[in-house]
Amino acid sequence: MDIEPLYIDSAEMGIADLRERIARTRFPEPGPGDPWSHGTELGALRALLDDWARFSWPPPELAALSHFRTDLDGLGVHFVHVRRGGAPLILTHGWPSTFAEMLPLVPLLDGFDLVIPSLPGYGFSDAPSGPHTTRDTAGLWHRLMQGLGYERYGAHGTDFGASVSKFMAIQEPDRMTGLHLTNLDNTPHLGHRPLSEAERSYQRDVAVWDEVERGYSAIQSTRPLTVAYGLTDSPAGLAAWIIEKWVRWSDSGGELARLPREVLLTVLTTYWLTGTIGSSMRDYLDNRWSNPPIGPEEYAAVPTAFAVFDHMHTFEGTPPREWVERLYDVRRYTRMPRGGHFAAAEAPQLVADDLRSFFTELEG
């Protein structure tokens, strides 16, 4: 496997253009009612854009890491690699995020070798030329880890990254030392046994969330390109689309200021400079129409820890342990005291401690 270093420079021309576009932003009138009730709150967006216009790129935490690109089945993939001589872990982000969501874990997992890739179509990874699902990415990640010299390895994932990690375990369980997840992404096969009351309650909570929050998914899984024109051309449009999800899906209390500002600005700048918000949204289209549902024979027969970060501003429901056990070999199920969908950025110490404890238990 050929690996090339990737140097993330200051991108002066791109940053200058970004700042000019922010300065020329035309804002709509805010909707009536409570802040965020009609979407991204105007005052919060203005404050974020002011910070973004002053944001120094690349931030020191990003520049200090070793970035690489390699070809996997004809697809250029970016990844951060931290070699420490410890147990190998691959950490995979989801949407609307980038590899930057996982970076707060780097200094907290000093005993591990870390591989932090960008999903295909996100940031510094190439966009697939045709339909590409989380099943496909799982196969790429196996080739990546083995190409780096790792015969066995663990995986941590969230959102689409949780789905990728799961399919890694289903495809090649003997390669996997364990799975660590902070949320679930695929519905397990439900035909093996009747639902418990806790599972039925969870389904009701999810249905309520779908009714009020799922509009973005309907658009992105049917006509993502139409939305992508505006988001690729307007920093304010891009920021508004992304931060609404970060506020509502996180332990923010409805306050953007409570989220990790530098991580969020790194996510936004990565999308902006690479022009990949459109290709990232295609994940919804590809996985809706080209990724089969979990079959009755599919099971992630790998020791699994599920860290439950359900303190979201808009409650999505808490999957009970018996729901998770339909698809995973659950060895650890932990309700966390704080943190939501973007747990690695919101509560990195909690994630790192749970990761370390789980994999230490597996080794011991």
- Angle, in degrees to the nearest 10, between helices 277-289 and 224-233: 170
Classify residue 240: in a domain, yes or no.
Answer: yes
| In the predicted structure, residue 364 carries a pLDDT above the cut 90 | no
Supply the pLDDT for residue 284.
98
Supply the pLDDT for residue 180.
98
Report, as an integer, the average pLDDT of 287-316.
97
Cβ-Cβ contacts under 8 Å for 209 (sequence gap 6 or more): 314, 315, 316, 317
- Which helix (H) or strand (E) segment holds residue 286: the answer is helix 277-289
Query: Left (φ > 0), alpha (ψ -120 to 50) or beta: where does 4 sit?
Result: beta
CA of 189: how far to CAs of 73, 283, 295, in Å? 30, 22, 6
pLDDT tens digits, 228-246: 999 999 999 999 999 999 9
31 or 160: which leads in pLDDT? 160
Report, as an integer, the average pLDDT of 99-120.
98
Q: State how many domains the chain has.
A: 1
Supply the pLDDT for residue 100.
98
| In the predicted structure, residue 13 carries a pLDDT above the cut 90 | no
Supply the pLDDT for residue 33.
80
Cα-flanking dihedrals φ and ψ of residue 281, to 5°?
-70, -20
Percent of the chain topping pLDDT 90: 95
| In the predicted structure, residue 151 carries a pLDDT above the cut 90 | yes
Report, as an integer, the average pLDDT of 256-283.
97
Classify residue 28: in a domain, yes or no.
Answer: no
Classify residue 337: in a domain, yes or no.
Answer: yes
Supply the pLDDT for residue 34.
82
Classify residue 262: in a domain, yes or no.
Answer: yes
| In the predicted structure, residue 320 carries a pLDDT above the cut 90 | yes
**What's the rounded Cα separation, in Å, for the pair 39 and 153?**
41
Classify residue 317: in a domain, yes or no.
Answer: yes
Is residue 161 within 8 Å of 99, Cβ to Cβ? Answer: no
| In the predicted structure, residue 11 carries a pLDDT above the cut 80 | no
Supply the pLDDT for residue 236.
98
| In the predicted structure, residue 363 carries a pLDDT above the cut 90 | no
Report, as an integer, the average pLDDT of 198-212.
97
pTM of this structure: 0.97
Supply the pLDDT for residue 332.
98
Which two structure tokens, joined as six digits, stand for 53?
């216009």
pLDDT tens digits, 16-59: 999 999 999 999 998 788 888 899 999 999 999 999 999 999 99
Is residue 127 within 8 Å of 190, Cβ to Cβ? Answer: no
Cβ-Cβ contacts under 8 Å for 347 (sequence gap 6 or more): 251, 309, 336, 338, 339
CATH code of the domain in which 234 resides: 3.40.50.1820
Is residue 327 within 8 Å of 186, Cβ to Cβ? Answer: yes
Supply the pLDDT for residue 189.
96
| In the predicted structure, residue 210 carries a pLDDT above the cut 90 | yes
Range of the domain at 313: 3-23+33-363
| In the predicted structure, residue 297 carries a pLDDT above the cut 80 | yes
